[in-house]
Structure 1
């Protein structure tokens, strides 16, 4: 097509429209080359450029100017150029830098995953698992805040906030009269409302969906269940305010949570209104379509879906491939105790453990 450009990311070439960012081009190729993103959210204009999680190395600026960019760049806000060559997971500097980004994000973030409602679908959990380190060098006291009610339906736990600004962009772009934002500066920066105002409008609940961590939570769902014990179902209803297409999260026969439908990047494509989210908690209110298909790897898929409906986490498969010994499944298996005792493996084990009897005579 005219005005399209060619970009190469981790050795894979793709063709995208002029004006596409590096991150969007990488996502077009697939999750195997797409950088992580904690603040970028495609449906929200001007989002991105704050968390630095998506930094990449541009080794060739363009076909016309083949010089590399001197520093790592944020792929979510950097436009791709024709002939650009980008390294993401294949670049050691990028991988090492991401470890530092994780360390910075966890400086003040409490390790309260066992009690956090976001556990199991938290982007920071995924990011730290894939790119983090086992230790942290920060020794000073963490910032602490009191929990705050942002209106009748939303609870703010500022201790967990990573200041991604997603909720601020959401309130700016899809609600009437934003009354919250980032207060103060530097280490004192926090999300809060203006002069104690309450957030209460028809689409305010979407701030819960866009939050990548457990900073903004649904007060009607808090502490009711862990996400991997619930059963998500696709459903819709005729709504005069929004698209009416949602995930219903069941605990037995009870609907304990309603959320917007998310894609494989964890982003809601269509925002839903507060009526659908908070007020319609009966099965009779909805037309059930069937089990929700998890297009993004998630623990909610565990033991619930056919293999063709599960998105396997690529990072776990890659980790196992490089760190665990491959099992030879063609080897013969001993089926009874007598055969086990006659095997060379058993004899060698007994020789190493002369003082113990592993199997009774």
Structure 2
């Protein structure tokens, strides 16, 4: 069946969502997401960050849908026409949703370990949410140890349910979930339980904000000071394909490899993630390319550097005080005395 998104028409299979079709097209037409995760089943529809305007329902029913639809759970119909990046209504709604997500979110980016690779940070920057109109008291929680490797900062949580879905689908017994309702809802473990299984560390990777942090990496370094390398090892539990975040020759943390949408390609076990922090334990394949523009690109050692050419007089770069005056006056030629001084310097 055919679907048109922002003027781009693409053929997709039945059952494909609007978001999946937009990702197949790529570019600015792809809506942002906070709760959807393509590697997890029945995931999405919680955050409403991916709202789109459907101007034509299908060939059979060409009427537009009266309300904006979440693209991650809306199935494509044959002949459907969608406005994503070209819809002012959808863009305004996304901006409002991101402002809503930031109501209780603390402004602790300077100390948050997720800073630099935070989906909410990127979303707020893309939607230009630089100010808040919320003046009421924010809800606050104390940090909570929910396992030997994971610390929960509920203040930063946006209730995307990713960690709950992952625990349901990847681990044998889920011992945490959402308790409470409405503005009292929060992620927590059941009484006297701790999250401790072979794949619990993947909850850190799927968390879009800094709510679930790696206790072995906390406050060790900023991600933009690290160099990411693809590496692998023979692991009996998982694929063993990881990204090593290195500072010099030291491995500071190990994560799963992520795609352009910041989703893990293959989930890895806790043994690879937490117990192999020596470079000798891995076969390093080489530097990892950055998937998309972010603060990490400041430290990009892959991008070729062009030689800088300064169009100025030769002796300006020598540092002489009399020549520095000529930097802003290219239209004023040297007088005879200056030309003689230049000649003397060149002959020395």
Fold conserved (TM > 0.5)? yes
Q: Work out which of the residue numbers 108, 118, 129 in structure 2 matches 1:112.
A: 108
Number of the residue aligned with 1:316: none
CA distance in 2, matches of 1:182, 1:271: 23
Retained in 1: the 8 A contact 2:225–2:299?
no
CA distance in 1, matches of 2:124, 2:207: 16
Tell me whether 1:272 sits opposite 2:268 in the alignment.
yes
Number of the residue aligned with 2:328: 340
Shift of 1:15: 1.1
Shift of 1:298: 2.8
CA distance in 2, matches of 1:307, 1:29: 25
1:270-314: per-residue Cα shift (whole Å, max 9, x none)? 000000000011111111100012123332232433237xxxxxx
Task: Report 1:77-92 matches (<5 A).
Answer: 77-92=73-88
Tell me whether 1:98 sits opposite 2:108 in the alignment.
no
Tell me how large the CA RMSD over aligned residues is: 1.7
Task: Report 1:281-360 matches (<5 A).
Answer: 281-307=277-303, 337-338=325-326, 340-341=328-329
CA distance in 2, matches of 1:254, 1:126: 28
Q: SS at 2:167's partner residue? A: helix
Number of the residue aligned with 1:60: 56
Retained in 2: the 8 A contact 1:102–1:132?
no
Number of the residue aligned with 1:244: 240
Shift of 1:73: 0.2
Q: SS at 2:234's partner residue? A: coil
CA distance in 2, matches of 1:175, 1:187: 28
Tell me whether 1:72 sits opposite 2:73 in the alignment.
no
Number of the residue aligned with 1:211: 207
Flag structure 1 segments of 5+ consecutive residues without an equivalent. 309-331, 345-361
CA distance in 1, matches of 2:29, 2:240: 33
Q: Work out which of the residue numbers 158, 162, 187 in structure 1 matches 2:158.
A: 162
Retained in 1: the 8 A contact 2:224–2:299?
no
**TM-score, normalising length from structure 1?**
0.85
Q: Work out which of the residue numbers 143, 155, 160 in structure 1 matches 2:139.
A: 143
CA distance in 2, matches of 1:203, 1:175: 7
Shift of 1:333: 7.0
Retained in 2: the 8 A contact 1:102–1:131?
yes
CA distance in 2, matches of 1:76, 1:302: 31
Tell me whether 1:21 sits opposite 2:23 in the alignment.
no
Q: SS at 1:340's partner residue? A: coil
1:17-59: per-residue Cα shift (whole Å, max 9, x none)? 1110000000001132100000000000011000000000000
Number of the residue aligned with 2:220: 224
Query: Which has the larger displacement, 76-85 or 332-341?
Result: 332-341
Residue 341 and residue 30 in structure 1: after superposition, are their counterparts in 2 closer, same or farther (change >3 A)? same
CA distance in 2, matches of 1:343, 1:97: 53
Retained in 2: the 8 A contact 1:58–1:86?
yes
The count of aligned residue pairs is 318
CA distance in 1, matches of 2:297, 2:329: 41
CA distance in 2, matches of 1:40, 1:204: 19
CA distance in 2, matches of 1:199, 1:141: 31
1:203-223: per-residue Cα shift (whole Å, max 9, x none)? 000000000000000000000
Shift of 1:343: 5.2
Number of the residue aligned with 2:307: none
Tell me whether 1:51 sits opposite 2:47 in the alignment.
yes
CA distance in 1, matches of 2:287, 2:263: 19
CA distance in 2, matches of 1:43, 1:75: 17
Retained in 2: the 8 A contact 1:103–1:132?
no
CA distance in 1, matches of 2:32, 2:330: 52
